[in-house]
């Protein structure tokens, strides 16, 4: 039997994933406030009871509050759940101080690495709000929002360097159709969730080029190797990358047409330009920015990430996908690691 706990939660970010988690938490019996940064949009969402831009047709439950007031979203809550894109996370949370969050547990469900600082999202939060890492948790794993909203069984992991924080977060989110595991490897869980998006772009490119299952299997396997080598170098544990936030999330985002990052890659493989693709999307594909950060981290730690390098060359250097694949396949032969 699942242990029930009812708390007050402020959710920062009314995109598809933030809205999905807000609905999930409300269904779990929690008191939930959802923050949308644009006042006029927040009012319209509250009036329609629908986040019409990102999850049209999905009604917000009665009792789930919507506001554009950041301070009231965070103040007096037991949990602050941050689900804003990685490239604006620091700016978004700078509108409120860590003091406003009180003693709340802070959970991030954002998958990315901050440009410039190369910080993980939990590190950005800890630095910006000046709070202890023991109060911060990460939620990650193979969890497409549309499937969670439909009640399709989903399994994720909650991680914190303080295992008690991870276990408490686990209880808050767990439901019969949303199983949550706990972990104290926050480094590995966060990096797995961020880096798999780069591999999803690569997988999409392969699909767009018309390659088959042989190619997909090789790409995912070697992609996981790159993710694990960097993650272990940065302090993550090897087995974490074989788990939900590593291999599990990698499989889902590399094979599902619901994945934004796979979609970006697929359209690149079909010959579209990155700028045109991004302008046509109303949701953020985190893997684009993460590709830059991942390559910087590889250089920082002194080793190669060939798939990341290939994706970078396609995204930012104008290299054709076919040329990048040929270069990957004709690299110096090596022993598998």
CATH number at residue 193: 1.10.1040.10
Is 23 found in the same domain as 167? yes
Q: Phi and psi for 330 in degrees, rounded to 5?
A: -105, 15
Say whether both 127 and 242 belong to one domain.
Answer: no
Query: 235 and 241 in contact (C-beta within 8 Å)?
Result: no
206: its two tokens: 């392969």
**b/e sequence 296-313, b meaning 16+ C-beta within 10 Å:** ebbeeeeeebbbbbbbbb
For 290, the token pair is 């993460």
Whether the CB-CB separation of 191 and 298 falls below 8 Å is answered with: no
Is residue 134 located within the same domain as residue 22?
Answer: yes
Asked if 196 is an active-site residue, the reply is: yes
Q: Which residues does 59 contact at the CB level (< 8 Å), separation at least 6? A: 49, 50
Alpha-carbon span 231 to 248, nearest angstrom: 16
Asked, for residue 335, whether it belongs to a domain, the answer is no
Rounded Cα gap, residues 286 and 324, in angstroms:
21
Do 39 and 63 belong together in one domain?
yes
Q: Would you say residue 112 lies in a domain?
A: yes
End residue of a domain, out of 126, 156, 184: 184
| Residue in 77, 111, 196, 292 annotated catalytic | 196
Q: Are residues 21 and 90 in the same domain?
A: yes
Q: Which CATH number fits the domain that encloses residue 153?
A: 3.40.50.720
Report the alpha-carbon distance of residue 311 to residue 37 in Å, rounded: 32
- What does DSSP assign to residue 244? I
Q: Are residues 140 and 237 in the same domain?
A: no
* Residue 303 lies in domain: 188-329
The tokens describing 154, both together, are: 């989903």
Beta strands in the chain (DSSP E): 8-12, 31-35, 65-67, 79-82, 105-108, 136-140, 154-159, 178-183
pTM of the model: 0.95
CB 185 within 8 A of CB 236: yes
Of 162, 184, 206, which marks where a domain is finished?
184
Same-domain check for residues 169 and 202: no
| Average pLDDT per 10 consecutive residues for the chain, totaling 337 residues | 80 97 97 97 97 96 96 96 96 90 94 96 97 97 97 98 98 97 98 97 95 93 96 97 97 95 96 93 87 96 94 96 92 85
Question: 54: buried, middle or exposed (CB in 10 Å: 19+, 13-18, 0-12)?
Answer: middle
Q: What is the largest CA-CA distance in the chain?
A: 61
What pLDDT does 1 receive?
52
Q: Which of 133, 161, 184 is the last residue of a domain?
A: 184
- Which pLDDT does position 2 carry in this prediction? 63
Within a domain: residue 337?
A: no
Structure-token pair, residue 184: 């104290």
Number of domains in the chain: 2
């Amino acid at each position: 039997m699942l242990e029930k706990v009812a708390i007050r939660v402020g959710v920062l970010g009314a995109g598809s994933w933030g809205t999905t988690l807000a609905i999930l938490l409300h269904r779990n019996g929690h008191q939930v406030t959802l923050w949308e940064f644009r006042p006029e949009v927040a009012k319209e969402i509250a009036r329609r009871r629908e986040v019409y831009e990102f999850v049209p047709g999905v009604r917000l439950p009665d009792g789930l509050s919507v506001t554009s007031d950041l301070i009231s979203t965070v103040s007096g809550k037991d949990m602050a759940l941050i689900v804003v894109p990685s490239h604006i996370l620091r700016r978004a949370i700078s509108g409120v101080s860590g003091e406003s969050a009180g003693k709340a547990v802070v959970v991030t469900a954002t998958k990315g690495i901050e440009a410039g600082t190369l910080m993980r999202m939990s590190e950005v939060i800890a630095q910006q709000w000046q709070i202890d890492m023991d109060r911060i948790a990460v939620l990650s794993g193979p969890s497409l929002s549309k499937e969670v909203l439909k009640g399709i069984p989903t399994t994720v992991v909650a991680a914190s360097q303080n295992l008690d924080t991870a276990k408490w977060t686990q209880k808050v989110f767990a439901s019969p159709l949303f199983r949550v595991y706990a972990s104290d490897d926050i480094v590995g869980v966060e990096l797995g969730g961020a880096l798999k998006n780069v591999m999803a772009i690569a997988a999409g490119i392969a699909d767009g080029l018309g390659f088959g299952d042989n190619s997909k299997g090789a790409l995912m396997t070697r992609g996981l190797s790159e993710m694990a080598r960097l993650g272990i170098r940065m302090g993550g544990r090897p087995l974490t990358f074989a788990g939900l936030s590593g291999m599990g999330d990698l499989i889902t985002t590399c094979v599902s047409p619901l994945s934004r990052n796979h979609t970006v890659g697929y359209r690149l493989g079909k010959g579209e330009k990155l700028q045109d693709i991004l302008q046509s999307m109303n949701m953020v594909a985190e893997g684009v920015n993460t590709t830059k950060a991942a390559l910087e981290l590889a250089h920082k730690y002194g080793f190669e990430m060939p798939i990341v390098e290939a994706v970078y060359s396609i995204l930012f250097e104008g290299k054709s996908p076919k040329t990048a694949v040929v270069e990957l396949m004709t690299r110096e032969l090596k022993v598998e690691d």
